[in-house]
Amino acid sequence: MSERIQYGWGESSLGRFLVATSEQGVVYLEFEDTHSVGRLRERFPDALLEEGGQVTSELAEALGRLVDHPELGHEIALDLRGTDFQKAVWTMVREIPPGQTTNYGALAAKLGTRDARDVTDAIASNSIAVLVPCHRVIKKDGSISGYRWGVRRKKALLERERRLASDRPV
């Protein structure tokens, strides 16, 4: 019997997104400008994909709010799928507080590798946007590098989080 994954569409100020869940939690959250499930099918070729459902609809609404209002925080269960190294990178990325950033080399050093390209590859393979906040990882010189869902989105997410952090009392 194949795995059952439910999916639904959501909207945010950064565009339309597709969210998918397994029994354990969110397995996929990607901005999808084409309104296609093609990449979801590629990611889970053996899964039974089902659109809709009340839980998926409510989750999509909550995620749309979270994208636009990172101050809301979240307690959304995730089902991270990847190698042990990728999961280690994603876990570290999730520990970066909103409004703060780190760089690829710093993450590599924490993981005991000198090659930041391994970290870059792990970040590039993340299929859970925003909830695994890879947008908080930038170049060593402080500049913004690529982002799977577009540099424009990365800049917008970082700016929202910086604004939020600067508004907090010290």
Mean pLDDT value across residues 71-99: 91
Does residue 134 carry a catalytic annotation?
Answer: yes
pLDDT in tens, 8-62: 999 999 999 999 999 999 999 999 877 789 999 999 999 999 998 777 889 999 9
Mean pLDDT value across residues 104-132: 92
Q: Tally Cβ neighbours within 10 Å of residue 127.
A: 19
In this prediction the pTM is: 0.89
One-letter amino acid identity for 140? Answer: K
* Domains of the chain, first to last: 4-72 (3.30.160.70), 84-167 (1.10.10.10)
Q: 163 pLDDT band (50/70/90 cuts)?
A: confident
Mean pLDDT value across residues 72-77: 80
Provide the pLDDT for residue 170: 53
Return the higher-pLDDT residue of 164 and 167.
Answer: 164
Indicate if the alpha-carbon torsion angle 153, 156, 161, 162 is positive or negative.
positive
pLDDT in tens, 136-145: 999 999 999 8
Mean pLDDT value across residues 152-169: 85
Long-range CB pairs of 100-103 (<8 Å, 24+ gap) are: 100/136, 100/165, 101/136, 101/137, 101/138, 101/158, 102/136, 102/137, 102/138, 103/137, 103/138, 103/139, 103/140
Residue-by-residue DSSP string for 77-136: -B---S-HHHHHHHHHHHTSPTT--EEHHHHHHHTT-S-HHHHHHHHHT--BTTTS-GGG
Q: What is the mean pLDDT of the chain?
A: 90
CB 76 within 8 A of CB 126: no
Q: 148 pLDDT band (50/70/90 cuts)?
A: confident
Rounded distance between C-alpha atoms, residue 148 and residue 134, angstroms:
9
Residue 168 has pLDDT above 70, yes or no: no
> Among the options 18, 128, 134, 158, which is catalytic?
134
Residue 1 has pLDDT above 90, yes or no: no
Provide the pLDDT for residue 69: 84
Provide the pLDDT for residue 96: 93
